[in-house]
């Protein structure tokens, strides 16, 4: 009887222990979710965008050659003007008085010249009659020549003053658009002081600064695209027209692009982006992947020759599950945040691109971003 009780007690204890194990058993963990990228051959070109501002090809500064008080200015920025249009006037200080003085000086010089010629002719006749000496004749002829020179000088002075009075009206040198006005009506200006700026409405261009690496890949006549940042963002065809040989600042070379055609809605000063298709030498026969795909905590030698690294490849097994394999790869180049792999990967393989330091070879992971069709293609 005693043995039977012991047997029953032992069985009960085992049963309770079994129930306890079932209650405390650790639930099975779901596989880790990983982010992957499909290995694809890198594109031979890459589009680079540079901020720019649309400007007219040339802006002309206009100024008076004389100083004085301005008249009324009936102009506005953006106004169209025609060649020869009067844009502004100035009252030249003392110009009229100086002109009158120049006219009087010319009349006086002409009178003196007439008298000197008459005296020279008279002395010549007297010399021929042996009445006066040759010295007297020569002196009269010299005085006549000097009087003629004074007439020429007075005439030139009068012409210059007349041109000065003509310069009191500032006229448009060509058909164009007013870009800016730097003076106020009825104010005082000095000779050479900028009054306004004018540009020909023949199109727009943009100047950008690029690195030595970029400028070395460009050439005059290269076709590119300009995308306005304001208003209609339809891409515009443009041509590279100028390449600077001297850096405007450290390793920043100026490059000028000109729009092939200008839309009516474009305005000087509009923001835009200049898009270049630049070759990527590293992309030749390589697969481009983000630098985060490199398993940095493992056997990596990016500073060696040839560069080597390791990456995790997710090989699908069923549904959205995949098994990780650590593969050795050869890296042709590291450019910015990208690496170019030339050996060790095949197009179409799934390469883990995030959290690689927390992964292990043979680990089962999930691929939540894989579409059924794409997964079936990889499993073939």
Considering the chain, tell me which residue range(s) the CATH 2.40.50.100 domain(s) occupy. Answer: 59-90+172-199
* H/E element, 208: strand 205-210
List the one residue out of 308, 337, 321 whose CA is nearest residue 375.
321
- SS3 at position 95: helix
Query: Measured between alpha carbons, how far is 11 from 7 in angstroms, rounded to an integer?
Result: 6
The structural architecture, per CATH, of the domain 48-56+204-278 is: Beta Barrel (2.40)
Q: Tokens 């390449």 appear where?
A: 243
* The dihedral sign for the CA sequence 285, 286, 287, 288: negative
CATH class of 59-90+172-199: mainly beta
d(CA 115, CA 123): 12
Q: Are 114 and 186 in contact (CB under 8 A)?
A: no
**pLDDT tens per residue across all 380 residues of the chain:** 445 454 545 445 544 445 444 444 455 677 888 899 999 888 767 788 899 999 998 889 999 887 888 888 889 988 999 999 999 988 766 667 777 888 898 899 899 989 989 988 988 888 888 888 888 888 989 998 998 999 899 898 888 777 666 678 889 999 999 989 999 988 888 888 999 999 988 889 999 999 888 888 889 999 999 999 888 889 999 999 999 888 877 888 999 999 998 788 888 889 999 998 877 766 666 888 998 999 887 888 777 888 889 999 999 998 889 999 999 998 888 877 888 888 899 999 999 998 888 899 999 999 876 554 444 444 44
Q: What residues pair up with 89 in beta bridges, in sequence order?
A: 169
pLDDT score for 372: 46
CATH 1.10.287 residue ranges for the chain: 95-166
pLDDT of residue 285: 65
Per-residue CA distances from 309 to 11, 120, 345 (Å):
59, 106, 12
Secondary-structure percent of the chain, ordered helix, strand, coil, rounded to 5: 30, 35, 35
* Per-residue confidence (pLDDT) for residue 301, from 0 to 100: 79
pLDDT confidence of residue 217? 85
Task: Report d(CA 111, CA 123) in Å as an integer.
Answer: 19
Could you tell me the pTM of the whole model?
0.52
Looking at residue 94, its pLDDT comes to: 62
Q: Where are the alpha helices (DSSP H) in the chain?
A: 2-24, 95-128, 134-166, 212-215, 372-379
User: In terms of CATH architecture, what is 95-166?
Assistant: Orthogonal Bundle (1.10)
DSSP letter, residue 22: H
| Tokens linked to 342 | 């030339």
**Cβ atoms of residues 301 and 308 within 8 Å:** yes
CB-based contact 198:210 (threshold 8 Å): no
Distance from C-alpha of 29 to C-alpha of 11, rounded to nearest angstrom: 33
Question: What is the pLDDT, as a whole number, of residue 361?
Answer: 92
For the four alpha carbons of 314, 317, 323 and 327, in that order, the dihedral sign comes to negative
The predicted pLDDT at position 14 comes to 47
For domain 284-379, give the CATH number: 2.40.420
At residue 281, the pLDDT reads 66
Q: Which residues pair with 38 in a beta bridge?
A: 350
Residue 157 CB: number of other CB atoms within 10 A? 18
* DSSP code, position 133: -
Q: 208 Cβ partners below 8 Å, 6+ apart? A: 50, 51, 52, 254, 255, 257, 274
Segments of the chain assigned to CATH 2.40.420: 284-379
Which residue is it, tokens 């310069």?
167
Residue recorded with tokens 């990983």:
34
Q: Which of 326, 237, 217 is nearest to 282 (CA)?
A: 217
Diameter over CA atoms, the chain: 188
């Amino acid at each position: 009887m005693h043995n039977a009780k012991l047997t029953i007690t032992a069985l009960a204890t085992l049963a309770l222990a079994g129930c306890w194990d079932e209650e405390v058993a650790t639930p099975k963990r779901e596989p880790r979710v990983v982010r992957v990228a499909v290995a694809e051959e890198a594109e031979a070109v890459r589009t680079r965008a540079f901020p720019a501002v649309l400007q007219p090809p040339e802006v002309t500064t206009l100024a008076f050659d004389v100083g004085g008080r301005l008249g009324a200015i009936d102009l506005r920025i953006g106004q169209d003007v025609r060649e020869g249009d009067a844009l502004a006037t100035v009252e030249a200080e003392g110009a009229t008085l100086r002109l009158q003085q120049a006219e009087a000086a010319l009349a006086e010089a002409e009178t003196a010249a007439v008298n000197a010629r008459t005296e020279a002719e008279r002395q010549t006749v007297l010399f021929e009659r042996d009445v006066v000496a040759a010295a007297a004749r020569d002196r009269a002829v010299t005085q006549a020549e000097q009087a003629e020179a004074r007439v020429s000088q007075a005439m030139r002075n009068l012409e210059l003053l007349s041109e000065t009075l003509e310069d009191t009206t500032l006229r448009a040198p060509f058909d164009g658009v007013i870009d800016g006005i730097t003076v106020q009506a009825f104010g005082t200006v000095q000779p050479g002081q900028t009054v306004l700026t004018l540009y020909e409405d023949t199109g727009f261009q943009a100047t950008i600064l690029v690195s030595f690496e970029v400028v070395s890949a460009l050439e005059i006549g290269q076709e590119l695209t300009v995308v306005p940042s304001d208003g209609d963002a339809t891409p515009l065809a443009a041509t590279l027209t100028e390449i600077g040989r001297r850096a405007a600042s450290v390793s920043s070379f100026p490059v000028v692009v000109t729009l092939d055609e200008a839309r009516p809605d474009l305005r000087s000063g509009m923001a835009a982006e200049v898009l270049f298709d630049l070759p990527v030498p590293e992309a030749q026969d390589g697969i481009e992947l983000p630098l985060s795909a490199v398993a940095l905590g493992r056997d990596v030698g990016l500073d060696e020759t040839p560069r080597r690294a390791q990456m995790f490849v997710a090989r699908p097994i069923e549904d959205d599950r995949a098994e990780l394999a650590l593969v050795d790869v050869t890296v042709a180049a590291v450019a910015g945040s990208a690496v170019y792999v030339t050996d060790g990967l095949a197009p179409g393989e799934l390469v883990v691109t995030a959290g690689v330091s927390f992964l292990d070879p043979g680990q089962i992971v999930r691929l939540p971003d894989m579409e059924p069709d794409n997964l079936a293609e990889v499993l073939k």
